[in-house]
Each structure stands twice: as C-alpha cells, then as structure tokens.
Structure 1
Amino acid sequence: MQRYPMFIDGSDHAPHADAWFPTDNPYLGQPWAEVARGDADDVDLAVRAADRAGTTGPWAEFTAAERGALLRRLGDVVAEHATELAELEVRDNGKLFAEMHAQVSYLPQWFYYYGGLADKIQGAVLPLDKKGYFSYTRKEPIGVVGIITPWNSPLMLLIWKLAPALAAGCTVVAKPSEYTCASTIELARLFHAAGLPDGVFNVVTGFGDPVGAALVSHPLVRRIGFTGSDGTGRAIGAAAARELKHVGLELGGKSPNIVFADADLDAAVNGVVSGIFAATGQTCLAGSRLLVQQEIHDEFVSRVVDLARSARMGDPMDAHTQVGPVTTPPQYRKVLDYIEIATKEGATAALGGAAATRPECGTGWFVEPTIFTGVENSMRIAQEEVFGPVLVVIPFRDEAEAITLANDIRFGLAAGVWTQNLPRAFRMADRIRSGTVWVNTYRAVSYMAPFGGYKDSGLGRENGMEAINDYLETKTVWINTDAPVGNPFVIR
C-alpha cells in the first residue's frame, strides 16, 4: 500500500510514535493506503515550525506584494494538478469525480482572489479629538492558524481558509479528517515545490484525540478554523475560549428548499434533487427539508421521486454515475439508523429507504436515494442532520407558514426558494434566518460571496473580502508630536 507521512517544516515527516492507520476507498469498501497517525508531539513540532516561519523565517520578510504573487503561483499549481488531486479525493471520499474535479478546478480562483487582496490590506490614519498626537492603525497577521477540515470536500474547505490566511501573512497547521488525508498532504508537497517557504503550511494527520485536541489547545495557535459537525464545533469553541483563541466554525445544517405553486416546476425539481442527492447528500448545505405548497404537493413530489429514481449509482470515477457511496462506515450506519427512526416516527418512504444492493454498487457503502412523505417538522428526521441521501417532504399552506417552518429549526446555514413572484422572493430572503438564501437555484458558491451560518450552523464567514479580516489583528499606534506630558496620574 501507498503510505502518506505528515508534512512538517517543508518535508515529509514520519509519525513520532511510528504508528499508521488505513484509509479506505468507499466504493470498494477496503483500504487503499496508510496514513501517519500523529500525536501531540507531532502537533507541537508542526506548530513550532509554523511559529518560526511566521516570526523569523523568510515568510516573515515577504512583502504583501510578494505574498500575493506567490498565492497566484499556488493557484496555477492547483490548476495544473487538478485531475490528480480530484482523483485522490474520489479514492478517499467516494464522491463523484465530476463533482470533485469541478471543485478542484475552481479552487485556483481563491488563490487569485486573495492573492489580489494581499497588498490591499491597509490601516488608516485616525482623525483625533486630541491636539499634539498622531495616530494610525496597522493590520498584522494573527499568527499561527490551525485548520481542521471534514471528509466531504477536503481541499475545498481547506482552501476556503488557507488562501485568506496566507494572504494575511499567517502560517498554518492543517489537520484533515482521518478519513481523507491524502489530497491535503499532496497539496502541501506541491506548494512547497512551488516555492512556499518551510513551515508556512504544515499537515498533521491522525484522530481528533489527540491531534485535533492538541492543535486547538496549543498556546502558539492563535486562531482555529473548523468545518464539521455542530457537536464537534461546540467542543472546539469551548476549548478555544479557554485559551482566548479566535475561532471560525462552519457547522451543519438542515436546510429548507421551499417550492411555491407559482414556481417553474421543471427547474425546481432539478434544484431539489441537486440540493439533496448531489454529493450523496453529504454536504452541510444540503436541502434536506423540502417544503412544498399544498396545491402542488402530490404532483411535485411525484416528479421529484421519478427523477431521483432514475439516478444512476455506482463507480464514482465513471462519468455516467450520479450517486456515489457514503464516505465512511460510521456515516453509512448513521444514515441507515435515521431511515429506521423516520419509519418508526410514522413517515412513509416514497422512494428508497434501505441500503443499496444493486450490482453496480459492488462492495461499497451505498444507500438508496430516499424520500420520506407524511413528515411533521417536529420529527427527528426533520430536525436532525442526517448527512446522507435522505429527503423529507413537508407541505405548507401559504407564505407565512413556509417562513415559520423554514425557521423552526436550530440550524441556519442555507435555504432555497422557488417562485416566479419577485416581491415574494425578496420577502422570503429577508425573513429566513440563514446565512445563504438561494432563489431559483441551489448549491451556488463563489470565492466572492461570504458563506456561513446563523444559530447552530456556526460562527463567522468564509469567502469574500471580509474573510481576510479574520486572520488579521488591528494595532493602534499613538505618537506624541508636541502634546505636554501633564499630570502622570491622569489619563491623557
């Protein structure tokens, strides 16, 4: 089997304890490589390398313009190696090659965008109410950033954090999910070969305990960026708060996809199926709650069921495959458990409702695309994140009830609205409590558009111009030009 060591201070690094663990191919249901099993000592080595790089190494001497130029070169590297990086992601997480190649091919734009912002970071001269003083602000890198990423889109959710962090002048220690380490390690190697100085981008692999915990608690780490479940996010937020670290948390969702009777139903059917069955439902922004206006409920659900039933399952590397496997055995069992819960709650499986046993699914971890009707919004299947190919359908009478149902959830990451009534579209966008609202589309993201959640879906925003501020500290400088010293016991 191929082995993937960690990447620390500019080179491959064997684990301190010489321990390794297998990483599985979800389509085959068997290991394909071994990954270094790091520990707290490996984390400390990586963090100290990052701290040196940011304070005394060549990176600390880079001008903002030089950082920007290097980021643009890193974007070119991602573009040049998009196919091989996407293939690694598919082998590790089982998502469609078409999906992962599209993601990786788009990621250079983050480096071009934040590379362009790098030399636009600036402080300001402050107008003061006091004579005899000159004051200005500086924007300085926050320091070492710890990035913890999930298994569903490893490189995309890493780069959403990595690109602004590097543009700000920070250094990074990344901890990918133990299920999907290979592409992150390969990215670090490529970036070092492209000229990123030693210690600027380090990768420590292993499990949440001890690696993730050690990274969050390390005294030299000043910010944690995390994407994952809300339960783990709460634990990271609490640990970071004890150390007074900055934190960004992009957590889960149970997003409503709301279809009004006046919608373009052909477009809405495609949008609903894309929102939940693309990526096998393993996305934080999945439109897993379908809210349908009563007068079109039966017709619309029938059309969604027909399209979802036609989805081709199988090898994610096959260009004809539309639904791939669930990425991990624990997630596979969790999805099947939630299907059982829904049935016990009284929901009816209009489609699917079981593990997939089609010949084309081979020995992988596949679940049939599943649609439940007869669902009340208070049911667990409507309130808890499944993170799999499971859609629940809930009818509504009017706009007011749609808003109530949409917001009657502890999450607030995303929502979709399907209507041809422009005033209604604006009203819905105003009143839905979520970080993103799509109107007559779903799953659209951009490096220019902030992304993040309300309520239990997280803290902070990624992407867009404001994201870079999360990696900067503001320093205020006062210079006495000719003010008298005055009474030393009184504030100036």
Structure 2
Amino acid sequence: MTQPLPEGGTTVRGEIWIDGGWREASGGRYDVEDPATGRVIGRAGAASVADVDAAARAARRAFDDGRWSGLPARERSRVLLRAAALLRDRAEDFARAESADVGKPITFARIIDVPNSADQLEYFATLVATSEGAVRETPLPVHAYTRREPHGVVGAISPFNFPLILSTSKLGPALAAGNTVVHKPAPQTPLSAQLLAELFADAGLPDGVYNLVTGPGPELGDALVRHDAVDAIAFTGSTSVGRAVARTAGDLLKPVAAELGGNAANIVFADADLDAAIGTIINAFAFNTGQFCMAGPRLLVERPVYETVLAILSEAVGQVPLGSPRDEGTLIGPLISGAHRDRVDAHVRDAVAAGARLVAGGERLDLDGGYFYAPTVLADVAQDAVVVQEEVFGPVLTVQPFDTEEEAIALANGTPYGLAAGLQTTSIARAHRVAARLQAGIVWVNDWGLLDAAVPFGGVKASGWGRESGPEALASYTHVKSVLVALKDGAR
C-alpha cells in the first residue's frame, strides 16, 4: 500500500512501469526511507531480472515499429515540450518527492532541481527540431550526405543524489533523438522517476517508449547492460561501478556515456575577493550535503591568505542552516543513509588520525533520527591522504596551502579524477591561463556549480567520458549514417 510523503505531496508506488502501464514487480516490494528521519515512507516495486527483460522487450518493440523513432523530429519535439510544461505545472509534487527521497532541502528542489529538469526537456525538444545531417563534398560522382539516427533502446541508469536532474539529462536527449528507454533509478530514490512515468504518458509519449524498473541490487543494472535488446547505455554513478559497466558494455560493443566520480579542486589565489570566495567555497563543498559529483571538496589556498581563509571558514560553516529538508530555511540536509554517514565519518576520523587539523565539524548530529553530519573542514592535509585522493561524497572540505601557480595546478591535477575544477581570482589573465591547464570537464571561475542545459559537462581521467547537456549530449544518443547516391545513369 502506498504511503503519503511527509507534509503531503505524491505517494510511493509499489509497481513498476512497463509498456505504458503500472504492473506488479515480480520481486515484490522494498522499503523507501526518508533520510531526514530514518522512517519508511513507502514500499516501491522490487523488479527482477525477468522484469528488466519485459521492459527491454517492450522498448525494443516500441522502437522497431517506429511509433516514436518514425515520427518527424518536430512531432517528438511537441511531446517533450508538453512534458516540460507538465513538469512545471506539477513542480511542487516533484519538489516534495525529491526532498523526501534524497533529503534535499525543499528550497533547492524548488528553485534548482525541478526548473533545471524542465529546462533539459525543453532544450533537447527544441534542439532536435532543428538537428540536421550534412552534405559532404567529394570527388566521387555521388551526392553524399550524413544522417543522425537513434541508437535504438537506451538503458539509462541514474544515481541517488540528483534523481530528477540526472534522469532528465539522459531522457531528454535520448527521447528527443528517437530512442526508446529503460530507466533504472537508484533504489533509494524512485519517487521522481515514478512521477516522470505518468507525466510522459500524459504528455503523449507512446506506450513502451519509456519504461521504469526500480529495485535494490546490482543485478538489475547488470541485466540491463547485458540485455540483447539494449543498444546503448547512459550511466551516472561511482567510478568503481562505472568501470564494471564499461567492461561489460565493451565486451558487447555497446556505446556507453559514463559520468563518474569526482574530487574537484577549488583554487583560491591571494588576489581573490575573499568576501565572495568564502560563500563560493562553502557552496562548492556543502551543497546537497556534499553529495555532488561536481562538488569542490578540495580547497587549495595561496599561502599569504591560508590562515585567514581557515579562520573565516571555522566560524562560517557552523552558521549555515542545517536541519529538516522541509524547512524552507534549511541549506544543508541529511546524507542519504546511515551506512553512507558511517563512511563519511570514517574518512574524517582517518584523516585526523593521519595528522589533519580539524578546523570545524567532524561529528554526527542527532536530529529526529535522520542521517545528519556537520559540515567539516580539515586543514594541513597531505596530498597523498585518502580524503584527497578518494571521493568522500559528503560535507567534508580538505584545505591545502600552495606557493605558486604551478604548484596549485599540480595539486589540483594530482588525483585520478577530472570531472570539475574551479578558481577564485580577480586576474582575468590568470583565470584563462589556469582554466586551460586544469584537467577537468568543466571549470568555474569565481563561482561554483553553475549549470545550464546548453552547456555540456562530463569527465576526463577516472571521471568518465561522454557529456551530459548541450548538443554534445544529443549527438551521443545517435550514430552517423552516410548515404552516397550515384549521379551516373546505370551506375552499379
């Protein structure tokens, strides 16, 4: 039986969505928790490998018969534009679902997650309506041109930290290009995907074009990647899981777009506007409780202002409103689970034991049974420390000094990751010079976390490959077909 979300809103459905309707999952149901209280808010459908097969077969039929892929791009565009409009109309339901599912502050869900997700659908709906192939000049006696065609069935696997945004950033371009989809969200956060299933149906998406399987266990994702009806994979998650997905897809010669882990450096030069920089620093590491693959959990500070920055942070981080995500004044909510909070705390304790200086935080917070952790600042952390080299994925900031621009760049690039980076400076020349040398898919100057549907993001090194957002994302959900038409009569 479904349960109402905290303070109203939608409900947790106990079924999965296949071929245009809800059906019971053959694996039964599983509990969905509210991270802010630790209480169960409903039971979602626990899909099995057999359910993945049914969803993939439905998506295959829907692609092969052309009910979606065979539509003119402008007609697909109209459906996605209706979906975007419905998402804006139902914004409060989606915001409450994200807040209850993730523990995301309701204010951020309203002003960031829902509008950005609607923007994604609108952007790709508009982009595909004007997408074209190209005529190629050649000395051959032919008329040569290219076509952009959809892959077929896309398996979309999205994570728990931004369930709605990181679903629409895949579904928008995949559907716009004419693909059909089997979507597997993180087991902790099925709610917004359940709402999307009904929203797409109401917008006019044909049956079987979008299919949703929810449930715990890595076997579902593995079954989706391996399924012979699935042609391409879009994945966001940890680097370790991404490697496994890539190995399996590589053996099967399936294209993969993978946005993986990050551990970005935020460089503060001595000439930075510190009043502005402090807010950016806190936003970079504490936004979404640090559960942000493009967070800035590594702070590099030029030595003349190193202790000044630490002194300001020691006072400022404790003043950021932390508490119930349903409180409109809250800026920091809980972590996703008790197990994840234990991992974050273990990272902090290990760093302090290894010699890091605890400047602020470093403790669990007992608030209404939720999984809260105080925003934490660790100074004087060695470059080879685990908290510098590995992704903590929590509200933990490591701080290191540097003396030269060269040293700052070397420290910033000195981890396996390359998803994001940033720098704070008043020198426009330095901004361009350093940004060009940072090994990252996106670089912010004098701000952090700004994203738009038109601007691509993604990783280098261990942070993955492929891009979400922008025309680059639309291209990744298509392949190029070349057509050469002979211009000589009787040509063979």
Conserved 8 A contact 1:308-1:369: yes
Tell me the amino acid that sits aligned with residue 439 of structure 2: R
The 5 Å alignment of 1:360-399 reads 361-399=367-405
- Structure 1 Cα separation of the partners of residues 217 and 143 of structure 2: 48
Counterpart of 1:16 (choices 18, 26, 32) is 26
**TM-score for both structures, normalised by structure 2:** 0.95
Look up the SS of the partner of 2:258 in the other structure.
strand
- The Cα shift of 1:161 comes to 0.8
- Which residue in the other structure is 2:136 paired with? 126
The 5 Å alignment of 1:53-202 reads 53-102=62-111, 103-131=113-141, 133-202=142-211
The 5 Å alignment of 1:201-280 reads 201-280=210-289
- The Cα shift of 1:60 comes to 3.4
- The Cα shift of 1:424 comes to 0.7
Look up the SS of the partner of 1:221 in the other structure.
coil
Summarize deviations over 1:81-116 as a string: whole Å, max 9, x none: 111111011111111111112211232111221111
- The Cα shift of 1:417 comes to 0.4
Q: Unaligned regions of 5+ residues in structure 1, if any?
A: 487-492
- Structure 2 Cα separation of the partners of residues 88 and 108 of structure 1: 15
Tell me the amino acid that sits aligned with residue 378 of structure 1: D
- The Cα shift of 1:179 comes to 0.3
Conserved 8 A contact 1:275-1:288: yes
Conserved 8 A contact 2:107-2:329: no
User: Does 1:333 pair with 2:364?
Assistant: no
- The Cα shift of 1:480 comes to 2.8
- Which residue in the other structure is 1:5 paired with? 15
- Structure 2 Cα separation of the partners of residues 61 and 311 of structure 1: 51
- The Cα shift of 1:189 comes to 1.0
- Structure 1 Cα separation of the partners of residues 319 and 34 of structure 2: 25
User: Does 1:408 pair with 2:417?
Assistant: no
Tell me the amino acid that sits aligned with residue 403 of structure 2: R
- Structure 1 Cα separation of the partners of residues 221 and 339 of structure 2: 19
- Structure 2 Cα separation of the partners of residues 138 and 485 of structure 1: 23
Summarize deviations over 1:260-292 as a string: whole Å, max 9, x none: 111000110000000011211110011000100
- Structure 2 Cα separation of the partners of residues 321 and 481 of structure 1: 68
- Structure 1 Cα separation of the partners of residues 489 and 312 of structure 2: 76
- Structure 2 Cα separation of the partners of residues 254 and 96 of structure 1: 23
Counterpart of 2:365 (choices 333, 340, 356) is 356
- Which residue in the other structure is 1:490 paired with? none
User: Does 1:445 pair with 2:454?
Assistant: no
- Structure 1 Cα separation of the partners of residues 487 and 409 of structure 2: 58
Conserved 8 A contact 1:4-1:185: no
- The Cα shift of 1:64 comes to 0.8
Residues 60 and 426 (structure 1), Cα distance of their counterparts in 2 relative to 1, 3 Å cut: closer
- Structure 1 Cα separation of the partners of residues 166 and 136 of structure 2: 37
- The Cα shift of 1:369 comes to 0.9
- Structure 1 Cα separation of the partners of residues 93 and 80 of structure 2: 20
- Structure 2 Cα separation of the partners of residues 255 and 381 of structure 1: 12
Tell me the amino acid that sits aligned with residue 398 of structure 1: T
Conserved 8 A contact 2:160-2:185: yes
Conserved 8 A contact 2:454-2:469: yes
- Which residue in the other structure is 2:440 paired with? 434
- The Cα shift of 1:57 comes to 4.9
- Structure 1 Cα separation of the partners of residues 246 and 116 of structure 2: 30
- Structure 1 Cα separation of the partners of residues 51 and 418 of structure 2: 36
- The Cα shift of 1:208 comes to 4.0
Identity level (%): 40
Counterpart of 1:475 (choices 456, 475, 481) is 481
- Which residue in the other structure is 1:298 paired with? 307
Tell me the amino acid that sits aligned with residue 258 of structure 1: I
Residues 60 and 399 (structure 1), Cα distance of their counterparts in 2 relative to 1, 3 Å cut: closer
Q: Post-superposition, which runs of at least 4 consecutive aligned residues in structure 1 deviate over 3 A?
A: 483-486
The 5 Å alignment of 1:284-295 reads 284-295=293-304
**TM-score for both structures, normalised by structure 1:** 0.95
Look up the SS of the partner of 1:202 in the other structure.
strand
Conserved 8 A contact 1:178-1:205: yes
Tell me the amino acid that sits aligned with residue 194 of structure 1: A
- Structure 2 Cα separation of the partners of residues 96 and 354 of structure 1: 20
Summarize deviations over 1:12-71 as a string: whole Å, max 9, x none: 121124x11101001111211101111111011111111111121522331111011111
User: Does 1:311 pair with 2:317?
Assistant: no
Conserved 8 A contact 1:54-1:170: yes
- Which residue in the other structure is 1:455 paired with? 461
